């Protein structure tokens, strides 16, 4: 998932589902361009301890403010620590759930999703809304 749409993910990245829309790390995020974002909190979240504690993060804000970049950066950080990460858009997730229900595979899909330590769900292709 953290390798973009080309090639295979490096072996140290444990991922499920399709590749991340793009490989974005927190190292490349312009914190100066968004001074209201708490950089220390984001870097703390990059330690991925919230995953172990089963805590949720919700990123809200206007388009183009870096929600997806930060979300993908946190996902990449979690992968590098060995956590399974699943990235999808909300529309794709809803479609997969409906298809699984129609083919009587919903329980199987739910079990697969439940095994993921960090699901990342984007409300649309450009905005990270929530992950748990």
Picking from 121, 21, 128, the residue whose alpha carbon sits closest to that of residue 67 is 128
Tens-digit pLDDT profile for residues 3-60: 333 344 443 344 555 556 667 889 999 999 988 899 999 999 999 999 998 888 888 7
Tens-digit pLDDT profile for residues 52-101: 988 888 887 788 888 888 988 998 898 888 888 887 777 788 899 999 99
Contact 73, 24 (CB under 8 A): yes
Q: Under DSSP, is residue 41 helix (H, G, I), strand (E, B) or coil?
A: helix
Domain ranges of the chain: 15-90+118-131
CATH classification for the domain delimited by 15-90+118-131, as one of 3.40.50.300, 3.20.20.100, 3.50.50.60, 3.30.428.10: 3.40.50.300
pTM beyond 0.75: no
- The CA-based angle 19-109-23, given to 5 degrees, is 10
Burial of 93 per CB tally in 10 Å (0-12, 13-18, 19+): middle
Give the span between the Cα atoms of 64 and 50, in whole angstroms.
25
């Amino acid at each position: 998932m953290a390798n973009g749409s080309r090639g295979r993910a490096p072996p140290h990245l444990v991922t499920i589902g399709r590749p991340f829309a793009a490989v974005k790390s927190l190292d490349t995020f312009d914190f100066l361009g968004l001074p209201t974002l708490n950089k220390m909190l984001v870097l703390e979240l990059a330690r991925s301890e919230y995953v172990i504690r089963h805590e949720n993060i919700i990123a809200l804000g206007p388009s183009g403010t870096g929600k997806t970049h930060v979300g993908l950066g946190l996902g990449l950080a979690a992968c590098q620590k060995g956590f399974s990460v699943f990235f999808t858009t909300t529309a794709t997730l809803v479609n997969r759930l409906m298809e699984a229900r129609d083919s009587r595979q919903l329980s199987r899909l739910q079990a697969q999703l439940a095994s993921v330590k960090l699901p990342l769900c984007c409300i649309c292709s450009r905005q990270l809304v929530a992950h748990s």
